[in-house]
Structure 1
Amino acid sequence: MRLRRYDGGMTGTIPTLEQIDALHRKVAPSQAAYDLIHTHCVIVADITRRLAHRQNALFMRRCTLPDARAEQTDVPPTDGIAGGLVPPRYIDVDTAVRGAMVHDIGTYLVLRENGADGGPLKFGDNYIEHGLLGYQLLLDEGVDESIAQFARNHTGVGLTREAVERQHLPLPPDDYVPVNLEQEIVMVADKYNSKSMPPRFLTAATYARKAARFGEANRDEWLGLVRKYGEPPVAELAAHYHQKLT
């Protein structure tokens, strides 16, 4: 598996949402796989949009807030999200949503049982590779690096080279962490929805317990991200998408 380095220039095309959907359908080995993975990406895009709108609403009000460095619990909710910290700049919502729609496209490539025979979907032991596989797939399809990186850099709460080496993960030693706010928002949004069978929504507290399995520092990193972005209305979203909430 080869790594590519990004020098900041254009490397491909910025796909439309319609083109992204067509790519999902092209890569999906079955309708069941498409339904699970594409729906997850739609949900993450929904949460991403909400988080980004909240950040932009806070940024627009930064000059009128008594303490722009504090959590903004007194500012009216935006798209169901309260709290959050004022970001250092305006968020590119369109780019973040595109990134959310492609972030898990590599999971089609790590299915051990892909549902093509009508059986249940099962992920393989190489699931940890889905981000890098998705990144490579997107580059091979001519997608620009700035969008492909959303697949590469969303695992956990930021997968560092140190963690890859310490945990002996089957990945080339490197940092797989967000490099901008848009990527970070998608990484956060992804944690609120699981592709388990059946799929489900997670509260921030539920994911904190999950993150703690990899150490208290990992849990604390997650809780810091929740404070930074606020928590989406996961109960409302679970009802809307007809999924369970844990």
Structure 2
Amino acid sequence: MDGFVPTLEQVDELHRKIAPSEAAYELVHTHCVIVARIACQLARRRNALFVRQCTLPQGEAVPPTDGVTGGTTPPRLLDERLTMIGGLLHDIGTYRVLKHDGTDGEELKFSKKRYILHGLLGYEYLIGEGVSEEIAQFARNHTGVGLTREDVERQGLPLPPDDYVPMNLEQEAVMVADKYHSKSVPPKFLSVDAYTDRAARFGEENKRRWLDAVEQYGVPDIPALAAEYGMRMI
């Protein structure tokens, strides 16, 4: 496969290269670190369920994994390293949709009109930097709970008509993890119920997709993460 899978050092270099200011770097990079952590927790949970499905008596509950409860057995093991790198780069396109980017002395602010483009812009940036397609896809396919061509056309979104949905379990884990943290200023964590309310704004089908994802990936310990990072939770 053409392109390279970045090391952790190269991930940071990719963020530094595109970040317009230190404030922007701190906001976006911290968000990506948090999402990568949650995504890896979700991946480990599903991997634990996969590994133990043949060793536990049928119907016996599996203890929490890294604070994650619930979840369903996946069809295969998830690649935790791929999940981590993808999580660390999934939102790199948001640097290019800042209305106030931290260089003008004003508080960071995203452009509401252009924000929907951040996934595609991140994908294009990563491909342009020589990053592999399998990693760049994490940026392209994480927005909401999966944007379909029908969603794009029905909502009149300023995106080329296409499907922007996870192509594999690793991308899906990052998409789900992303919903638990917001880059608002100041940033905050979201509970399952808080994001359920957000998802419902775009219709019952969107809400159902989210709740199905929660059932599959389980629920991470968001209060503990919020306390660790000193951020509020809604």
> Into which bin does the TM-score normalised by the smaller protein fall?
over 0.9
**How big is the shift at 1:118?**
2.4
Q: Secondary structure at the match of 1:244?
A: coil
Q: Which residue of 1 aligns with 2:228?
A: 240
TM-score scaled by length of structure 1: 0.93
Q: Which residue of 2 aligns with 1:26?
A: 17
Q: Which residue of 2 aligns with 1:94?
A: 81
Fraction of identical pairs, as percent: 63
**How big is the shift at 1:64?**
3.0
Q: Output the amino acid matched with 2:77.
A: Y
Q: Which residue of 1 aligns with 2:201?
A: 213
Given the alignment of the two structures, is residue 198 of structure 1 paired with residue 186 of structure 2, yes or no? Answer: yes
Given the alignment of the two structures, is residue 174 of structure 1 paired with residue 162 of structure 2, yes or no? Answer: yes
Q: Output the amino acid matched with 1:118.
A: G
RMSD, aligned CA: 1.1
Find 1:53's aligned residue among 18, 39, 44: 44
Given the alignment of the two structures, is residue 16 of structure 1 paired with residue 7 of structure 2, yes or no? Answer: yes
Q: Output the amino acid matched with 1:56.
A: N
Deviation above 4 Å: which 4+ runs of structure 1? 65-68
Cα separation, 2, equivalents of 1:161 and 1:44: 25
> Deviation digits for residues 29-76 of structure 1, max 9, x if unmatched?
0011001000000000110111111111111011134558xxx8x210
Cα separation, 2, equivalents of 1:167 and 1:101: 29
Q: Which residue of 1 aligns with 2:97?
A: 110
Query: How many residues are paired up?
Result: 233
Structure 1 residues 108-187: aligned runs within 5 Å: 108-124=95-111, 125-187=113-175
TM-score scaled by length of structure 2: 0.97
Q: Secondary structure at the match of 2:145?
A: coil
Listed as ranges, the gaps of 5+ residues in structure 2 are none
**How big is the shift at 1:155?**
0.4
Q: Secondary structure at the match of 1:96?
A: helix
Listed as ranges, the gaps of 5+ residues in structure 1 are 1-9
